[in-house]
Amino acid sequence: MALFGRRAATPAPLDGVDVVLADLDGVVYAGAGALPHAVESLNRARDGRSLAYITNNAARTDASVAAHLSELGLPTVARDVVTSPQAAMRLLAERIAPGSTVLVVGGDGLVVEVEKAGFVVTRSADEAPAAVVQGFAPEVGWTQLAEAAFALKTPEEEGGIPWVATNTDWTIPQSRGIAPGNGTLVSAVHTAVGRLATVAGKPETPIFQEAVARFEARHPLFLGDRLDTDILGANRAGIASALVLTGVDRPKHVLAAPESSRPTYILGDLRELHEPYPEVHVKDGVATVRGARVAIDGADIRILSEGDRAVDLVRAGAAAIWSTGRAIFGFRVPERLYADPFHRP
């Protein structure tokens, strides 16, 4: 991981990157509005490289997402947006016959992709669908969830139909706060039928593979705000990642991150994409990031110096804890280490 043990010069996270792949909710915007510094930082990132977007949000079409980004000041066309419904169609194509009827639980973003893939859309289990595909939309309610449960009553191993979820994000950032995501809706159906869905989006790899192939990326960098979907998925796909602290996951989550979900870079906001990433030194139980120093002292974590930037303290704390190979619950952690001065919706 790039977070530890750098000895050479310290390039910026964007150095050597040919394609930037950015998550949307919590990275570019929260609700309808852009997050501070996101638009100008991403437009600057276009210099010498491609800029594209990966989103688990199945509520909107790629064209509507592109239009929204363009309105925010990020010129975007539909092809620049890779969605979890597009990844879901790849999975469906492997499991059911062309032209089959598919029960859709979700909104226009999912319906459009199902139709583009050549399948017939239904909203009723009574029309003998060949599969169920489920994605987030604000209008999804009991009626749609019940139809999915009716269609999925027979386990697949006993002859039942496939069930594909675009994603299982538990939450979604909104302008008013954090709201339930598609994972909560998928869980409702799971609770009713006792089955697990096959997942197309992050943290599974199909959506990353689609993006890398579409943009012919050799050295991509993925930007996300969630460890359990964005960063885990990028790691599984072998893609360098940057966690930006403007969305769902906070400093306390970073400190507790399991090895599989640790990012290459930790950023306070997207301006830091363009700054040299500081060296991280860990020696004799002390992690140093510029002026921030954090020590491991048995079961205690001690802040020796906070440094000048809050994000450096998070980086030093993470480096100190991660270097031990021990889980965070084995330590006494000072509250100051997971203080949260970073912008969030």
Per residue in 132-153, pLDDT (tens digit) is: 999 999 999 999 999 999 999 9
Distances from the Cα of 136 to the Cα of 76, 181, 285, angstroms: 23, 7, 44
The catalytic site residues sit at 23, 25
Mean pLDDT across 310-315 = 98
Domains 19-56+205-338 and 84-199 share a fold: yes
pTM of this structure: 0.86
**pLDDT value at 332 more than 50:** yes
Strand stretches in the chain, DSSP E: 19-22, 29-30, 33-34, 50-55, 81-83, 101-105, 120-122, 131-134, 163-165, 171-174, 177-180, 198-199, 220-224, 240-244, 265-267, 280-283, 286-289, 292-297, 300-306
For 282-298, the pLDDT digits (tens) are: 999 999 999 999 999 99
Architecture of domain 19-56+205-338: 3-Layer(aba) Sandwich (3.40)
Mean pLDDT of the chain: 94
Quick one: pLDDT band at residue 171, thresholds 50, 70, 90? confident
Residue 206: the pLDDT is 87
Residue 8: the pLDDT is 47
Quick one: pLDDT band at residue 303, thresholds 50, 70, 90? very high
**pLDDT value at 97 more than 90:** yes
Residue 57: the pLDDT is 81
Residue 173: the pLDDT is 72
Give φ, ψ of 246 to 5 degrees: -120, 10
SS3 260: helix
Locate the domains of the chain by residue range.
19-56+205-338, 84-199
The residues, ordered by sequence, that sit 6+ positions from 325 with a Cβ below 8 Å of its Cβ are: none
The residues, ordered by sequence, that sit 6+ positions from 8 with a Cβ below 8 Å of its Cβ are: none
For 226-281, the pLDDT digits (tens) are: 999 999 999 999 999 999 999 999 999 999 999 999 999 999 999 999 999 999 99
Say if residues 222 and 230 touch (Cβ distance below 8 Å): yes
Residue 5: the pLDDT is 47
Distances from the Cα of 241 to the Cα of 234, 236, 274, angstroms: 6, 11, 14
Q: Which two tokens stand for residue 242?
A: 């940057």
DSSP-assigned letter for residue 147: H
DSSP-assigned letter for residue 161: P
Q: Which of 201, 181, 219, 200 is nearest to 19 (CA)?
A: 219
Q: Which two tokens stand for residue 117?
A: 């893939």
**pLDDT value at 175 more than 70:** yes
Q: What percent of the chain has pLDDT over 70?
A: 97
Q: Which of 53, 63, 62 is nearest to 26 (CA)?
A: 53
Architecture of domain 84-199: 3-Layer(aba) Sandwich (3.40)
Q: Crossing angle for the helix pair 84-95 and 108-116, nearest 10 degrees?
A: 40
Residue 31: the pLDDT is 81
The backbone region for 69, taken as left when phi is positive above 0, alpha when psi lies in -120 to 50, beta otherwise, is alpha
Q: What percent of the chain has pLDDT over 90?
A: 87
Q: Which of 78, 14, 98, 54 is nearest to 209 (CA)?
A: 54
For 178-225, the pLDDT digits (tens) are: 899 999 999 999 999 999 999 999 999 989 988 999 999 999 999 999
Burial of 10 (0-12, 13-18, 19+ CB in 10 A): middle
Q: Which helix (H) or strand (E) holds 313?
A: helix 310-324
- CA 43, 248, 173, 25 dihedral sign is positive
Quick one: pLDDT band at residue 60, thresholds 50, 70, 90? confident
Q: Which two tokens stand for residue 281?
A: 């030194």
Say if residues 148 and 134 touch (Cβ distance below 8 Å): yes
Amino acid in the structure at residue 228: D
**pLDDT value at 92 more than 50:** yes
Give how far the C-alpha of residue 192 lies from the chain's centroid of Cα atoms, to the nearest Å.
Answer: 27
Quick one: pLDDT band at residue 56, thresholds 50, 70, 90? confident
Q: Note if the bond before 258 is cis, omega within 30 degrees.
A: no
Q: Which two tokens stand for residue 178?
A: 């954090």
